[in-house]
Amino acid sequence: MSLLKYESTLREPLVDGDYSVYREVTYGIGQWNLNKTIGWGWDITNFVWWVGIGHAGTLISAILLLFRQGWRTGVNRAAEAMTIFAVMCAGQFPIFHMGRVWDAFFVLPYANSRGPLWVNFASPLLWDVFAISTYFTVSLLFWYSGLIPDFATIRDRAKTKARKLWYGVVSFGWTGSTKHWQRHESLSLVLAGLSTPLVLSVHTIVSFDFATSVVPGWHTTIFPPYFVAGAIFSGFAMVQTLMLVTRKVMKLDDYITLGHIEAMNKVIVLTGSIVGIAYLTELFMAWYGGSKFEYDAFYKYRIAGPYGWSYWTMMTCNVISPQLFWSKKLRRNVAFTFIMSIVVNIGMWFERFVIIVTSVYRDYIPSSWSVYYRPSIWEVGFYLGTFGLFFTCYFLFSKFAPVIAIAEIKHVLKTSGESFKEKMDVIEKESVEHFAHGHAH
Amino acid sequence: MGQVKKYIVGCFDDEKVLFPAVKKVRAAGYKIQDVYTPMPIHGLDHALGMRETSLHTAGFIYGITGTTTALTCMSWVFTSDWPLNIGGKPHLPLPAFIPITFELTVLFAAVGMVLTFCYLCQLAPFVKKHHFHERATDDLMVMVIECTERTNEEEVKAMLNSNGAVEVNVQEAPVGWWLGRYDRPSKLFKTREVAY
Amino acid sequence: MSIDLNTCTGCAACVVACTAENNVPVVGKKQVAKYHEMHWLRIDRYYAANRKDQFDDVNVLFQPMLCQHCDNAPCENVCPVAATNHSSEGLNQMTYNRCIGTRYCANNCPFKVRRFNWLDFTGADSFPDNQQPLIDEGGMDAIVMDMNDDLTRMVLNPDVTVRSRGVIEKCSFCVQRLQEGKLKAKKASRPLIDGEVKTACMQACPTDAIVFGNYNDKESRIYKIRKEEQTKRTFYALEAIHVLPNVNYLAKVRNTDRHVGVKEEEHDGGEAHEAKKEEKKEAVPSGH
Amino acid sequence: MIREQFEMTGRYKQWAYALIGTGVLSLILGYVFLKPGEGTNSFGETKYWAVLMHNSIFFLLIAIASMFFISATTMAMGGWQTAMRRVPEAISGFVYVGGAIALAVLLGYIYMSHNTAIYHWKDTEHVAHDKILNGKKGFLNTTFYTVATILVIGTWMALRAWYRKNSLAEDAGQTGDRSYFWRSLTICAAFIVVYGLTVGSTTPWLWLMSIDAHWFSTMYSWYTFASSWVAGLSLIMLFIVYLKNKGYLEYVNEEHIHDVGKFIFAFSIFWTYLWFSQYMLIWYSNQPEETVYFQPRLLGPYRGIFFLNLIINFVAPILILMKRSSKRNYATVTFMSVVLIFGHWLDFYQMIMPGPLKGEVNGGNSAGLFIFDMGVAAGFIGLLMLIVGNKLTKASLLPKNHPFVKESIVHHT
């Protein structure tokens, strides 16, 4: 069974998105409801949102690998794929939010024909260019190097010529030689080690886009770790959403167990609470700092004021509702988890919206204060378009590539299953001294 | 490609059986060409007497290269090639160079390592190698022993059989890799029908 | 540049002069309603009343607001392509053909003086024929078409570029006039004389509220105003965020025994500039 | 027979008492030379109180970091550390004495001293004229300070006591009885929440950030946490290595050392990350209300300490602990632990001192007073040794009935 049968329902958002982008490029950003005060709205909100989602995959495969959390193997491959597709979606926004997309290559550092005019290496947006492209590349390499042995497994089971050709090409001639495995292990470990700080750096740099500025509500030092926590939070929520669907449709209940779901819910409640502390810290500092602009940004325009509803949506979805996961029963409830995963995604979207829009719409000088910002149909269309792209890519992936890391699962199967449980029962009953003696190094 | 050698192939389905077998075969003085396994098996590389890979050292060197590239390029551009006054910041705004320096370190290390890995293992699209057993990527561990003129085939086969191999055969296979497609049989070497 | 708030009457002659001099596009009513207007120079109004709800008896203060050409410009730092940077003369300059339109600088400008070309207002876009469809749809006013035929384009100042869609623009301190003046002086082998070059707004100001010049020249008007004549009245906009503007204002002084501010400025630990901004306290937004 | 009951050797005790003696002597000599009794807000008085505060807060926070270590690993079902679990448990036992001392110092400063150089906000008259401090009155006032401090330290003590009681009861209980383990999860969850709300947010604001009362940074608490956490991990490492050297902790081997070493390495980088984020954002945005904090540290008299802090806490661990073999080498990890505890002590030093002592470092008398600083720190170290040693003797070094203990024994990196 394949998820691809849902593809037709995605055609509409994709086409919608394409047309929105076409209009933006031909006629201009003026069709969006941004203005001289609100320079960024849905575009950058969506960018940050997608990038945040794109953190979970690498996080699961890298950090949890280093922390030896065995449960990650069930979900890591699909989560990594999700990462790559989410970053692809994210990348579109900073590109197409430019006034002159056709000159987007100006951000690349090369000595151009106008003389050695370089880029501004001190601009957070340029750091973004480096961070997002590095992250995309490294995630892709990490994901693909893990896929090679699995592709080889499928290649050797393939029945049709087309499949033999396709999997033959993508498996790079993998044989499973011991030396290759040794190098492969070393590669995975180092890539995991590199990806861990990388994944933190990406959202850190995204947060620098705001935190380096002088805009009240943007400039705050807690942003880097707080954005990272938020990214993990939203990323895990998106993994839950997708995995629960994949699990259901492809009948992977034995591979993605309630244990996996519960573990991810624990991460969600942890990161949700970290984010919550950060929200409260910001609120406190806005008062404590003694700057009127900062105070107004939080107390007049965020928790109250015309955008108050978005702030409270964010608070409810991100901080209050995940606390329900303290209950073990709810953590292991699939339907509830699915609903919560969507709630968290909505909440995290609003977090970025609140940060971006409520900060710029009224900053320093009252004469420039802006009106209430509503997105135009083209901004919404563009956003929906990335959904189409994301799910199309994900469904194609689930059709043509293994959603479960085959080789890794084989590795893990040694430490689970029935015979393992029997063995464990014996060990349970042994005394510590006896056990230790038997396992002396 | 071109050179064809003869190999004795023994297949195992349990790593607990494989390890003693590896030990015995090596003790008997035969050269194990390779063991093909569906998943990484810890300690097998040591059992086969392979040295540790230095791939991570290469990665470290690539990383350092990235760091230096980033720092020297940015410093050169900002201080000597075209110094601009941007926002009143110093011409060498070191804190602002850190993010890009970090990213390039990671990028160089990762890309360099993956390319080195592919080079060392000879992995690329359309690369084809001889596969001794199709289940080597599924659930069998396939031990391959190279035959020389001094190898007593029958003795080796018997040894493998007595050490728990579930399947033993002799194959002639080309050395190395060649360009080819998996949906077509290879015409590049004289075929002798093997296990599949 | 120094702007005297005492003499400013809020007549907006500077705004008109600036628009005419710098080919600032006319965007039409619909786009103005979307806050897409392009003025490089605007006049902010602040009202001071005794009580918050008492608007029949207010004191008004006009503050012409334009690019402050900050020395620590937050906008310059964030531009990824270095399209905006500082000239050696202290101008915060824009390179239109380098700009890719991320609008990051506009977000980060505390004075909100940067203007983005949201649509093709001048017909100078890389994409042809993209105005009429929008006008037909009702997204834009037909008036922007005026910039498309040769006759109406005669109003444009030939010394100033017409900006295309998708780039940021802002006050340049009439850099074309500065260059011209410098060239003339160079040809005559003499230094630029103070007051020889006037920005359009300075030239148009009927009350001479705006003074422009070289602050490094100790004989210049601007130096004398800041350092000798008006030391007590000189203040800079938003000094607390330390962007070091190159435009200073001279505080408005009223000869009245009526208490103006809502409440006495509290002692704030010796931050002198706060007191100068007394009149700006209890400001209410003007335009809406 | 394994040695699972720690006994303090005579030498250990001698060292502890000698260090405590050094501390007491330093305090007496400091009292004689600095004359803190003479003149409110005199240099001597400010310095004396600042040193007491610096050390009491630092050592309390690194001891409570052990409790966080236990809670975090328990919540994550991390079985690997069970075999050495009693070490952080013992270290967290310092919270009673350390907490009492900190309470005495902090409240002593608030109520016994007329000094206002450390906490400007104590001076109500000054606050009335200071617009910014006046705005913070609701948070920075003696009543709130007192209540919050007592509450925070009291909660830490209570939760630590509860955890320890449960842990000891497990030893006495039946093998295979998991009820203690489930209860420990509840306690740890409660502690994590409390830790997040105290060390992760409010406490560092109240105790430390309010020294530079005008200044603020939202990152501050997380930064303080990272600093105390790295030092706390190093402290755990030191005790493990010591016990291993004395032949205890039979089941702890270089695999466990390696993992603690990884933690130290990773969180040293994490500390640097937070340091960089806080510094870079303030540097980049360049607003006076924030840069005022770095002015004396980066450009003023504390410049040397500022960079030393970075070298010790970032450059040293990243270079020395990067290699796998160095994380498994007892000598290297011991050396790095000592270096890092000193490094983060220095980090706290540069967080606290530049605020009240604005002029020269230590009033120009750097060397002499730095010895005083170190002397007082030595006293705290001695006290820590004595108390932790004492707690280690109170229970078996192996929590035998813990469900994860076997997993810990076969732990393999």
**Probe site for chain C from B82, B84, B86, B97 (most C CB atoms < 10 A):** B86
Span C9-16, average pLDDT: 93
**Probe site for chain B from A134, A213, A409 (most B CB atoms < 10 A):** A134
Give the integer Cα–Cα distance in Å for C117 and C163: 8
Predicted confidence (pLDDT) at residue A126 exceeds the cutoff of 90: yes
**pLDDT tens-place string over residues D366-389:** 666 788 889 999 999 999 999 999
In chain C, the residue whose alpha carbon lies closest to the alpha carbon of D127 is C269
Positive or negative, the Cα torsion across D237, D239, D240, D244?
positive
Task: Calculate how close chain A gets to D316, using CA atoms only, in Å.
Answer: 18
Domain contains D29: yes
Mutual orientation of helices D254-285 and A178-211 as an angle, nearest 10°? Answer: 30
- Look at A221 and D217 and tell me if their CB atoms are within 8 Å: yes
**pLDDT tens-place string over residues A231-262:** 999 988 988 888 888 888 888 877 788 888 88
Report the relative pairing of strands C210-211 and C2-4 from DSSP bridges.
antiparallel
3-state SS of D211-261 is HCCCCCCCCHHHHHHHHHHHHHHHHHHHHHHHHHHCCCCCCCCHHHHHHHH
Give the integer Cα–Cα distance in Å for A401 and A10: 20
Q: Which domains are delineated in chain C?
A: 2-280 (3.30.70.20)
Picking from C273, C277, C279, C276, the residue whose alpha carbon sits closest to that of residue C261 is: C279
Report yes or no: C197 and C183 within 8 Å, Cβ to Cβ: no
Number of domains, chain D: 1
Please report which confidence band the pLDDT of residue D358 belongs to, taking 50, 70 and 90 as the band edges.
confident
| Residue at A4: amino acid letter | L
In chain B, the residue whose alpha carbon lies closest to the alpha carbon of D284 is B96
Give the integer Cα–Cα distance in Å for D287 and A415: 56
Picking from D349, D194, D347, the residue whose alpha carbon sits closest to that of residue D271 is: D347
DSSP D259-306: HHHHHHHHHHHHHHHHHHHHHHHHHHH--HHHHHHHIIIIISTTHHHH
**CB contacts, 8 Å: D289 with chain C:** 240
Q: Which domains are delineated in chain B?
A: 4-52+125-179 (3.30.70.120), 55-121 (no CATH)
pLDDT at D44: 85
Give the integer Cα–Cα distance in Å for D201 and A283: 12
Picking from B40, B47, B43, B51, the residue whose alpha carbon sits closest to that of residue B24 is: B47
Predicted confidence (pLDDT) at residue C224 exceeds the cutoff of 90: yes
Question: Which structure tokens are listed for A174?
Answer: 């993998």
pLDDT at D123: 87
Residues 6+ positions from A240 with CB-CB distance below 8 Å: A261, A264, A265, A268, A337, A338, A340, A341
pLDDT at D357: 84
Positive or negative, the Cα torsion across A62, A63, A65, A66?
positive
Predicted confidence (pLDDT) at residue D23 exceeds the cutoff of 50: yes
Please report which confidence band the pLDDT of residue D175 belongs to, taking 50, 70 and 90 as the band edges.
confident
**Probe site for chain D from A200, A266, A269, A288 (most D CB atoms < 10 A):** A288
Q: What is the CATH number of the domain that holds A391?
A: 1.20.1630.10
Picking from D170, D172, D197, the residue whose alpha carbon sits closest to that of residue D403 is: D170
Percentage above 90 pLDDT, chain D: 58
Of the listed ranges A216-225, B184-193, C279-288, the one predicted with least confidence: C279-288
Number of H helices and E strands in chain D, helices first, is: 18, 0
Span A100-113, average pLDDT: 85
Residue D338 belongs to domain spanning: 10-409
**Probe site for chain A from D218, D227, D314 (most A CB atoms < 10 A):** D218
Contact with chain A for residue C138, Cβ under 8 A: no
pLDDT at D217: 92
Span D376-403, average pLDDT: 90
Picking from A145, A169, A176, the nearest residue to B36 by CB comes out as: A176
Report the relative pairing of strands C210-211 and B141-146 from DSSP bridges.
unpaired
For chain B, list residues with pLDDT below 50: 1, 188-196
**Whether residue A321 sits in one domain with residue A227:** yes
Give the integer Cα–Cα distance in Å for C104 and A309: 26
* Interface ipTM: 0.90
pLDDT at C282: 38
Span A208-233, average pLDDT: 92
Task: Calculate how close chain D gets to A125, using CA atoms only, in Å.
Answer: 14
Give the integer Cα–Cα distance in Å for A289 and D214: 8
Span D95-105, average pLDDT: 95
With 0-12 / 13-18 / 19 or more C-beta atoms within 10 angstroms meaning exposed / middle / buried, residue B78 is: buried
b/e map of A122-161 (b: 16 or more CB within 10 Å)?
Answer: bbbbbbbbbbbebbbbbbbbbbbbbbbbbbbbbbbebeee
Domain contains D1: no
Which residue(s) pair with B36 in the sheet? A177, B142
pLDDT at A4: 57
In 3-state terms, what secondary structure has residue C88?
coil
Number of H helices and E strands in chain C, helices first, is: 9, 10
First to last CA, chain D: 27
Give the integer Cα–Cα distance in Å for B116 and A190: 13
Tokens 């050409």 locate to: C69
Number of domains, chain A: 2
**pLDDT tens-place string over residues D323-355:** 888 888 899 999 999 999 999 999 999 999 888
In 3-state terms, what secondary structure has residue C94?
strand
Domain contains D299: yes
Mutual orientation of helices A258-288 and D179-197 as an angle, nearest 10°? Answer: 30
> Please, which residues 114-153 of chain A have a Cβ atom closer than 8 Å to chain C?
117-120, 122-126, 128-129
pLDDT at D270: 94
**Whether residue A255 sits in one domain with residue A347:** yes
Give the integer Cα–Cα distance in Å for D61 and D229: 8
pLDDT at C278: 42
- Look at A182 and B40 and tell me if their CB atoms are within 8 Å: yes
Give the integer Cα–Cα distance in Å for A32 and A41: 9
In chain B, the residue whose alpha carbon lies closest to the alpha carbon of D286 is B89
Contact with chain C for residue D125, Cβ under 8 A: no
**CB contacts, 8 Å: B85 with chain C:** 85-88
Average per-residue pLDDT for chain C: 85
**Whether residue A427 sits in one domain with residue A294:** no
Q: What are phi and psi of B167, to 5 degrees?
A: -155, 135
Question: Which structure tokens are listed for D391?
Answer: 């707690």
Give the integer Cα–Cα distance in Å for C34 and C32: 5
C-alpha distances out from residue A164 to A176, B123, B180, D298, Å: 17, 17, 12, 64
Alpha helices of D112-215 — where are they, by DSSP H? Answer: 124-129, 131-135, 142-172, 179-197, 203-207
Element (DSSP H or E) covering residue C86: strand C84-86
- Look at A28 and C119 and tell me if their CB atoms are within 8 Å: yes
Give the integer Cα–Cα distance in Å for B13 and B163: 12
> Please, which residues 131-170 of chain D have a Cβ atom closer than 8 Å to chain C?
131-132
**CB contacts, 8 Å: A176 with chain B:** 36-38, 136-137, 142
Q: What are phi and psi of C3, to 5 degrees?
A: -125, 120
pLDDT at D383: 95
Of the listed ranges A42-46, A186-190, B132-136, C79-83, the one predicted with least confidence: B132-136
Residue A153 belongs to domain spanning: 3-404
**Whether residue A430 sits in one domain with residue A309:** no
**pLDDT tens-place string over residues C65-103:** 999 999 999 999 999 999 999 999 899 999 998 999 999
**Whether residue A110 sits in one domain with residue A56:** yes
DSSP A151-165: HHHHHHH--SHHHHH
**CB contacts, 8 Å: C71 with chain B:** 88
Domain contains D115: yes
Domain contains D2: no
Q: Left (φ > 0), alpha (ψ -120 to 50) or beta: where does B164 sit?
A: left
In chain A, the residue whose alpha carbon lies closest to the alpha carbon of D408 is A436
Picking from C74, C87, C88, the nearest residue to B87 by CB comes out as: C74
**pLDDT tens-place string over residues C126-165:** 888 888 888 888 888 888 888 888 888 888 999 999 999 9
| Residue at B30: amino acid letter | Y
Predicted confidence (pLDDT) at residue A389 exceeds the cutoff of 70: yes
**Whether residue A434 sits in one domain with residue A291:** no
pLDDT at B180: 81
| Residue at A289: amino acid letter | G
Predicted confidence (pLDDT) at residue A105 exceeds the cutoff of 60: yes
Report yes or no: D298 and D351 within 8 Å, Cβ to Cβ: no
pLDDT at B187: 53
Contact with chain B for residue D348, Cβ under 8 A: no
The DSSP 8-state label assigned to residue C161 in this structure reads: P
The DSSP 8-state label assigned to residue C262 in this structure reads: S
Average per-residue pLDDT for chain D: 90
More confident residue, D133 or A425: D133
Give the integer Cα–Cα distance in Å for A424 and A429: 9
Contact with chain D for residue C242, Cβ under 8 A: yes
pLDDT at B128: 86
**Whether residue A415 sits in one domain with residue A389:** no
Which residue(s) pair with B165 in the sheet? none
**Whether residue A299 sits in one domain with residue A421:** no
> Please, which residues 69-88 of chain C have a Cβ atom closer than 8 Å to chain D?
72, 74, 77
